[in-house]
Amino acid sequence: MAYTPSESRYAEMVYNRCGRSGLKLPAISLGLWHNFGGVNTLENARSMVTRAFDLGITHFDLANNYGPPPGSAEETFGKILEQDLKSHRDELIISSKAGYYMWPGPYGEWGSRKYLISSLDQSLKRMGLDYVDIFYSHRFDPNTPLEETMMALDHIVRSGKALYIGISSYSAEQTAEAISILKSLGTPLLIHQPSYSMLNRWIENGLQDVLEENGVGSIAFTPLQQGLLTNKYLNGVPEDSRAASSSMSLNANDITPEAIRKIRALNQLAAARGQSLAQLALAWVLRGGKVTSALIGASRVSQIEDNIAALKNLEFSNEELDRIEAILKTENES
């Protein structure tokens, strides 16, 4: 059946300016890290992407290695673009990244000019695109001069293969240096994509200050801590969960008694706010306007709908914020 986007798709979504740029991103963006690869069904992926667009999600985040197998998420997204969203390309923000292993030999990963440009060419081919809106250095390369990596990103923008550039998982110091290099080249850094959640707050120790001082936006990945900040693990580890799979970054060892105590207490607070735990966690990440967008994953349409409902209540009282801090600082009790 032919897809026709909802005419009310922009009615409810919140759009935030990305740093000091002219670009706005939806407060909730959809990542295609899992559940969009060659091992998954195209129809489910299509249902999630089109429903997300109907709900105002205009930003779809990919990377060269997303799948599995690597590259297949971009191929899936390319099929959905061709079938359903081709005529709406100018309404979309499509991002991709390069940094992790993609092909054998010395040029198949990290941050060299050779790898980044070759990888983006492959990504564009897989998605059937002439350009991406944002292209990221997916991780800092300790063995390549940062100047080379940033000059490659600058070249990519000047060649028309990307409109903006970003970095992911760089430290505060690495980010400050990257910003300085890019400023000298005349292509500003648009955005940083770090991991960030109630249970993973490393960016508060310097990185957020660097981004704010330099007018760089941020998009937080794993804001639900790989599903831990949902109701999924309140009563143990389900057999079909990410934690039950040793191939996923969250495993059963992460679900400690202390973690369960915290998420149960947070769940009670969420209920008092009329939210699910996931909605509370997303609203918390977006609090105060320091984070431009929260990047969610999904395996079914209902998860996207539930997560977007977080935008109905983004305000926190001082008492709620104090209660959250108290919960998160709780230590194991004897």
Query: Is residue 72's pLDDT more than 60?
Result: yes
Judge whether 29 and 295 are in contact, CB under 8 Å: yes
* Residue 262 domain flag: no
Q: What is the DSSP string of 181-243?
A: HHHHHT----EEE-B-BTTB-GGGTTHHHHHHHHT-EEEEE-TTGGGTTSGGGTTS--TTSGG
pLDDT in tens, 168-208: 999 999 999 999 999 999 999 999 999 999 999 999 999 99
* Residue 219 domain flag: no
For residue 157, the domain's CATH number is 3.20.20.100
* Residue 150 domain flag: yes
Domain that holds residue 34: 23-193
pLDDT in tens, 116-131: 999 999 999 999 999 9
Q: State mean pLDDT over 303-324.
A: 98
- Give the Cα-Cα-Cα angle 300, 46, 313 (nearest 5 degrees): 50
* Residue 51 domain flag: yes
Quote the pLDDT of residue 238: 61
* Residue 121 domain flag: yes
Nearest residue to 155 via CA among 111, 187, 132: 187
* Residue 257 domain flag: no
Q: How far is CA 85 from CA 90, 92, 139, 217, in A?
A: 10, 9, 30, 26
Q: How far apart are CA 300 and CA 304, in angstroms?
A: 7
3-state secondary structure 291-320: CCEEEECCCCHHHHHHHHHHHHCCCCCHHH
Nearest residue to 191 via CA among 15, 14, 25: 25
CB atoms within 10 A of CB 90: 5
Quote the pLDDT of residue 246: 46
How many domains does one find in the chain? Answer: 1
* Residue 28 domain flag: yes
Nearest residue to 53 via CA among 22, 1, 2, 7: 7
* Residue 185 domain flag: yes
Query: Is residue 1's pLDDT more than 90?
Result: no
pLDDT in tens, 38-56: 999 999 999 999 999 999 9
Between the CA atoms of 232, 236, 237 and 243, what dihedral angle is there, to the nearest 10 degrees? 80
Q: State mean pLDDT over 130-146.
A: 98
Asked whether the CA dihedral 132, 136, 138, 143 is positive or negative, the reply is: positive
Residue 244 structure tokens: 């039950």
Residue 210 structure tokens: 């660097």
Q: Is the pTM of this model over 0.85?
A: yes
pLDDT in tens, 231-263: 988 876 666 555 545 445 566 677 888 889 999
Contacts of residue 49, defined as CB under 8 A and 6 or more positions apart, other chains included, come to 30, 60, 77, 80, 84, 85
Pairing mode, strands 24-26 and 15-17: antiparallel
